[in-house]
Chain A
Amino acid sequence: MQQALTRKLESFEPLSDQARWALNGLTLKVRQVGARQDLIQEGDKPDNVLLILDGFACRYKVLPDGQRQIMALLVPGDFCDLNVFILDEMDHNIGTISACKVVDVPRKAIDEIAAHHSSIARAFWWCSLVDGAVLREWLVNMGGRAPGQRIAHLLCELLMRLEAVGRVTDNSYAFPLTQTDIAETMGLSDVHVNRTLRELRALGLIHLKSRVLTILDVERLKAFCSFAPNYLHLRNTRWGERRDLSWPGRAQEG
C-alpha cells in the first residue's frame, strides 16, 4: 500500500534504497477515511500535506447555486498539494470519492526529506509540475473536446496514472465515480454522461460493471480522443536521455 508514493515518484526518476526507506518513513500514520468525506475544506488552514495511499479523492468547489465542480481527481500516490502549507488558507475543498487510506504528512517532514534527498526533492517538484500539466490538459478537455472524447480522455488518463502506481490489471481499474461525479468533473449533465458512456460501450471501447472499468481496446480508445500522454511526463513515455543531461550529479545522491 505504501508503495503507491514510491512507485509514483519512481515513474519520474530512479530512487536509491535510502530514498525509498526515507519515503516509507513519511507514511507511517495511515488513517482510513470513508467515502464522501471532506479531508479539508475551503477556508481551512492547511497544516499537513495530505497523501492518498488508496482510493479516489477530488478537489472541488461548490457554486452559490449548489452546483459542484470537481477540478482534479486524486488517486493513490497523489499529494493533495505538496506545498499547500505555504498558503494561509484553502481556496477549495478536498473530499473522498471512495473510501481512502490517507496520510497526514507534517510540513516539517516534507522539508526534511527534500533537504536530505535531492532526488526526492526533484520528484516532489515533478509532482507539482505534473499536477499543473494535468490541470492544463483538463482545461483543454473541457474547452475543446466533445463529450464523448472528453470522457474517453479522462478514462485514458486514469489508466496511465493508475498503471504508474500498480492499480491496473488487464486494462481494468477500480472506478468509484458515479455518473454525477463524472458530470461534475467534465462540466456535463448526468444525461449527457449517461448517453456518452452508452456510446463508448456500444463502440466496444469500454466495459463498466460493479465499479470496475475495463478498457477493451486501449489503442482505439486513445485514438478516439487523440490521447497524447506527454503531459503526464511519465518516464516510460518521454525523453529519458535528454533530461539526464539536465541534472548533472544526479547519480551521486540518494
Chain B
Amino acid sequence: MSEQGNVETLIVLQPIAVDTGSPDREGMLVMANGLLVAVLVRLDASEHARSGAWFIEAGLGRLAGRRAPVFDTLEDATRWVRQCLRG
C-alpha cells in the first residue's frame, strides 16, 4: 500500500459502530486505495482523560502492531496513517 509516483494514496473514512467491550463504540473504517487498513474509535467522554480523541483500535497490513498515539482529530489520524503507508 505505498504511493506510486506522484499519486497520493486515497484515504476514505466510513462510519461504523465498533464493539470494544467498553462505551467507546463510535468508529471509522479507514480505507486506503480501497483496502481496509485501520479501524479508528472515538474515546468516550466519561471514560478517558482525552475524551473525544481518536484511537487506532486495530491496524492491518503495514499498520498491524504499530503503537500509535491518540489523535485529537480525524485529520491528524489520517495524516499518521498516510505517513505510515508512505514509510
B67 CB contact (under 8 Å) in A67, A195, A198? A67
A194 partner residues in chain B, CB cutoff 8 A: 47-49
Asked whether B20 is an interface residue with its Cβ less than 8 Å from the other chain, the reply is yes
Cβ contact within 8 Å between A198 and B47: yes
Measured CA separation A198–B49 after assembly (Å): 13
List A84-143 residues whose CB lies under 8 Å from chain B: none
B70 to chain A, nearest CB (A): 7
Most A CB atoms within 10 A — which of B22, B48, B55? B22
List A169-197 residues whose CB lies under 8 Å from chain B: 189-191, 194-195
Cβ contact within 8 Å between A191 and B67: no
Measured CA separation A191–B39 after assembly (Å): 14
From known contacts A195-B22, A198-B22, A199-B21, infer whether A189 and B67 are also in contact, taking CB-CB under 8 Å: yes
Measured CA separation A67–B67 after assembly (Å): 8
Asked whether B38 is an interface residue with its Cβ less than 8 Å from the other chain, the reply is no
Cβ contact within 8 Å between A195 and B55: no
Measured CA separation A191–B68 after assembly (Å): 11
Cβ contact within 8 Å between A191 and B70: yes
Number of A-B contacts (CB under 8 A): 21
Measured CA separation A195–B44 after assembly (Å): 11
**For chain A, what secondary structure do more than half of its interface residues adopt (helix, strand, loop), or is it mixed?**
helix
Cβ contact within 8 Å between A195 and B47: yes
B49 partner residues in chain A, CB cutoff 8 A: 194
Cβ contact within 8 Å between A191 and B21: no
List A185-224 residues whose CB lies under 8 Å from chain B: 189-191, 194-195, 198-199
Measured CA separation A127–B20 after assembly (Å): 40
Q: Mark A140-177, 1 if CB is under 8 A from B, else 0.
A: 00000000000000000000000000000000000000
- Using CB atoms, name the residue of chain B closest to A146: B21
A67 partner residues in chain B, CB cutoff 8 A: 67
A189 partner residues in chain B, CB cutoff 8 A: 55, 67
Asked whether B43 is an interface residue with its Cβ less than 8 Å from the other chain, the reply is yes
B26 to chain A, nearest CB (A): 14
Q: Mark B55-87, 1 if CB is under 8 A from A, else 0.
A: 100000000000100100000000000000000
- Using CB atoms, name the residue of chain A closest to B53: A191
B65 to chain A, nearest CB (A): 10
B67 partner residues in chain A, CB cutoff 8 A: 67, 189
7 further A-B pairs in the complex, CB-CB below 8 A; given A195-B21, A198-B22, A198-B47? A189-B67, A190-B70, A191-B48, A191-B70, A195-B20, A195-B47, A199-B22
In the A-B complex, the 3 residue pairs with the closest CB atoms? A195-B22, A191-B55, A67-B67
Q: What residues of chain A have their CB less than 8 Å away from a CB belonging to chain B?
A: 67, 189-191, 194-195, 198-199
